């Protein structure tokens, strides 16, 4: 299967409101999360796409290379129902994601969307929330955590169970510490621990982290390969 190739962009936007046309976003920041994974903050759209919801994805274009579906990992500024700022955490595994991974601050990336079915976080009001994520699968679930924390009093316990192959593959380490301080019960385990790892290995059996009520809403996502 070949990726669709796209010409390098001019600094003007097409006027038509259509999901078939990429909107030009600028890379405002690039953070290296692991050896092969980065988080890109995209801002300054000349014409913003409609706002995203947790669980949805965008088609990101590396101009001259192709486009690939990447879930949103941060919703940012959605004033007026438009996505003025987006965050995408992606792993370099193929030609397109390698090009996006290497995109420096100031460069342009095409964005189409939103696509996909969203997770209705508000429907969990009054319930405990359990989020289970493996590897880069935490990236699309990050907006669920942030949405719940933004209206914390609406929900019961928020439990986050995170796994990765090694400590070096864990995402959002500093952020997970902040989530702990905000009342999220975070349990982290790895498959292969190194000498400097003081957390759990293998699947955690901490009964204290399991919600005791049937009134629980759960989301689960594991890592997936992307072109």
Where exactly are the structural domains of the chain? 23-115, 121-221
DSSP state of 102: T
Q: For 166-203, write each residue's pLDDT tens digit.
A: 888 999 999 999 999 999 999 998 887 776 766 666 65
Assigned token pair, 109: 């990336």
Question: What CATH class is the domain 23-115?
Answer: mainly beta
pLDDT of residue 215: 63
Query: Nearest to residue 163, comparing CAs of 132, 208, 205, 194?
Result: 132
Task: Name the fold adopted by 121-221.
Answer: Rossmann fold (3.40.50)
Query: Nearest to residue 127, comparing CAs of 210, 214, 212, 215?
Result: 215
Q: How many helices and strands (H and E) does the chain possess?
A: 3, 11
Give how far the C-alpha of residue 141 lies from the chain's centroid of Cα atoms, to the nearest Å: 6
pTM: 0.82
Query: What is the Cα–Cα distance from 171 to 207, expressed in whole angstroms?
Result: 24
Q: For 33-65, write each residue's pLDDT tens digit.
A: 999 999 999 998 888 999 999 999 999 999 999
């Amino acid at each position: 299967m070949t990726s669709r190739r796209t010409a390098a962009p001019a600094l003007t936007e097409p006027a038509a409101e259509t999901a078939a046309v990429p909107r030009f976003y600028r890379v405002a920041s690039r953070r290296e999360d692991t050896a092969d994974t980065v988080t890109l903050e995209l801002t300054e759209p000349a014409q913003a796409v409609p706002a995203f919801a947790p669980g949805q994805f965008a088609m990101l274009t590396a101009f001259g290379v192709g486009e690939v579906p990447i879930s949103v990992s941060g919703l940012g500024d959605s004033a007026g129902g438009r996505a003025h700022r987006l965050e995408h955490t992606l792993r370099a595994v193929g030609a397109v994601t390698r090009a996006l991974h290497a995109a420096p601050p100031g460069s342009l990336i095409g964005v189409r969307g939103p696509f996909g079915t969203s997770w209705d976080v508000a429907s969990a009001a009054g319930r405990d929330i359990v989020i289970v994520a493996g590897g880069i699968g935490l990236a699309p679930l990050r907006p669920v955590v942030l949405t719940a924390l933004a209206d914390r009093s609406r929900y019961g316990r928020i439990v986050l169970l995170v796994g990765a192959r090694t400590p070096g593959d864990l995402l959002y380490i500093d952020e997970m510490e902040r989530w702990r301080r905000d009342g999220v019960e975070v349990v982290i385990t790895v498959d292969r621990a190194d000498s400097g790892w003081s957390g759990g290995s293998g699947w955690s059996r901490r009964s204290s982290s399991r919600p005791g009520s049937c009134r629980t809403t759960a989301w689960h996502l594991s890592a997936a390969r992307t072109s």
